[in-house]
Amino acid sequence: MPLTRETEGILCARTFTALPRGAGLVNAGRGGHLVEDDLIPALDRGQLSAAALDVFREEPLPLGHPFWHHPRILVTPHIAGITNPVTAAPIILDNIRRLEEGRPLLNQVDPADGY
Domains defined for the chain, CATH in brackets = 1-81 (3.40.50.720), 83-115 (no CATH)
- 70 catalytic? Reply is no
Q: Which of 65, 70, 72, 78 is the catalytic position?
A: 78
**pLDDT on residue 55:** 95
DSSP secondary structure, 69-95, as one string: T-TTEEE--S-SS---HHHHHHHHHHH
Amino acid type, 81: G
**pLDDT on residue 77:** 87
Q: CB of 79 within 8 A of CB of 57?
A: no
**11-52 pLDDT tens trace:** 999 999 999 999 999 999 999 999 999 999 999 999 999 999
**pLDDT on residue 78:** 85
pLDDT of 115 above 60: no
- 78 catalytic? Reply is yes
Burial of 59 (0-12, 13-18, 19+ CB in 10 A): exposed
**51-84 pLDDT tens trace:** 999 999 999 999 999 999 999 999 998 888 778 8
Q: Is the pTM of this model over 0.85?
A: no
